[in-house]
Amino acid sequence: MSTELPVVVIGAGPVGLAAAAHLAERGLPFTVLEAGDGPAAAVRQWGHVRLFSPWRYNIDTAARRLLIDAGWVEPDPEILPTGGRLAADYLQPLADLPALKPHVRYGARVEAVARLGVDRLRTAGRERAPLLVRLADGTDMIAKAVVDASGTWTTPNVLGASGIPARGEHASAGFVEHALPDVLGTDRARFAGRRTLVVGAGHSAANTLLSLAELAAQVPGTSVVWAIRAGNAARTFGGEAADALPARGALGTRLREQVEAGVIELVTGFPVQALTSAADGRVTVSDGVRELVVDRIVSATGFRPDHAITAELRLDLDPILGSTRALAPLIDPNEHSCGTVPPHGVDELSHPEPGYYAVGVKSYGRAPTFLLATGYEQARSVVAALAGDWAAARDVQLDLPETGVCNSNPVVGDTTIAATVTVEAGRGLLSAPLTLLPVTSTSGGEQAGGACCG
């Protein structure tokens, strides 16, 4: 075993650590490379947000077995954890297990993945060459396989409506906030008493808008503008009282009420074209005709995968989503909701380049329908294949009914209201574009959105 090349896992988030747990159970050598200074570095950045999914959907099966064997007490399966609790109560103990801890390296940012001595053009001898993983500090590692669970949190979509940065967007970067800032907590000072523009029509935008509306009620001079490309906000408001998910419906209702009350200024049909910084410390955002002058901008426009590190690998990427071509029709958000994406595993995640697999939210490309439970099953299937257990690798199952049971326990004050809803296939439920689906801001108690089971 000591002479066998390791499997390199990129990322020590929920799905990367799940892959490590399965590798440990299979007795395969592995190394986890994490760019942050600890496990779940990205999750901790939105630690103030509560997940839409209860604990029972957020724990990988192999991870659970290893943790319980070590004396870990599993959280109440019906409770909705925050990102911070997910990291502290599950992912940190998992990363600290003796079976994993010696194999996890922090501060290890991957710069490139390639074939040793073989560029993308060369075919002869390609399959016999191991994978080469180069770190930003210049270190090279040789690997049997690479499981890329690096996620998409660090590569948000731009503000520009054409999918490329708006004119002046780079120069105005100092005015722009990442999605899901802690408006009512650690980031409060940046928004209190200021005029903030939120761009985006998804649940991340809704969460931030409601938090800003609460801040506006607390701090005079705080104002909120919401810009969307669509002609109306019906998609974000959703079905409200008729929504199959009461919590999501309530989110839409509260958001609509804040718009109708004038607390949130809604600007429709506004594709961002240009940003211009002014001498007075404000920024002007234009759609080519209209202009909005604000102090801060929250970009809630979604995320995209970064395939730059694998530029020398032969990847078969769908030209629209950026997932594998085989996976794309199964996750197309025009056809599937979070509850109707069918189970899939190593076969759908394979590329022409043997041994490289993107798992987790990165595997979905730009599709916003990812479920954490799906990522865990992807990791299990891929690791089984790497162990040569193809029967297990292809026996892909999800612990979710095909109709998509979405459980939400919205927190209202100190009262937890249980609401379990069965969502019919084809209802078009779209999840928030996050590795995990956030719902409630712990600082303000508002519903953040997200459509399914994390």
Q: Pairing state of beta strands 405-408 and 223-227?
A: unpaired
Stretch among 83-87, 360-364, 430-434 having the lowest mean pLDDT? 430-434
Mean pLDDT of the region 434-449: 32
pLDDT level of residue 239 (50, 70, 90 thresholds) = low
pLDDT digit string (tens) for 246-305? 445 567 888 999 999 999 999 999 999 999 998 899 999 999 999 999 999 999 999 999
Mean pLDDT of the region 86-93: 98
Question: What's residue 427's pLDDT?
Answer: 27
pLDDT digit string (tens) for 144-153? 999 999 999 9
Question: What's residue 242's pLDDT?
Answer: 56
Question: What's residue 238's pLDDT?
Answer: 66
Write the CA distances from 308 to 39, 110, 305, 312, integer angstroms.
23, 11, 9, 9
| Domains, the chain, ordered by start | 7-154+303-394 (3.50.50.60), 173-302 (3.50.50.60)
Question: What's residue 336's pLDDT?
Answer: 67
Is residue 424 over pLDDT 80?
A: no
Mean pLDDT of the region 142-170: 97
Question: What's residue 431's pLDDT?
Answer: 30
Q: Is there a contact between 168 and 412 (Cβ–Cβ < 8 Å)?
A: no
Is residue 441 over pLDDT 70?
A: no
Measured over the CA atoms of residue 100, residue 77, residue 149 and residue 400, the dihedral's sign is: positive
pLDDT digit string (tens) for 204-222? 898 899 999 999 999 999 9
pLDDT digit string (tens) for 331-348? 998 886 655 778 899 999
Stretch among 1-5, 189-193, 339-343 having the lowest mean pLDDT? 1-5
Q: Is there a contact between 199 and 214 (Cβ–Cβ < 8 Å)?
A: no
Is residue 454 over pLDDT 50?
A: no
Which tokens in the block code for residue 19? 């892959």
Question: What's residue 260's pLDDT?
Answer: 95
Question: What's residue 432's pLDDT?
Answer: 32
CA atoms within 13 A on the CB side of 98: 3
pLDDT digit string (tens) for 17-74? 999 999 999 999 999 999 999 999 999 999 998 787 789 889 999 999 999 999 999 9
Residue ranges with strand state E in 127-252: 131-135, 140-143, 145-148, 176-177, 195-199, 223-227
Distance CA 239, CA 313 (A): 44
Mean pLDDT of the chain: 85
Stretch among 130-139, 253-262, 347-356 having the lowest mean pLDDT? 253-262
- CA-atom Rg of the chain in angstroms: 22
pTM of the entire predicted model = 0.84
Is residue 116 over pLDDT 80?
A: yes
Transcribe 13-65 into DSSP letters.
SHHHHHHHHHHHHHT--EEEEESSSSTTHHHHHTTTEEESS-GGGTS-HHHHH
Distance CA 364, CA 326 (A): 11
Is residue 437 over pLDDT 70?
A: no
Distance CA 139, CA 105 (A): 12
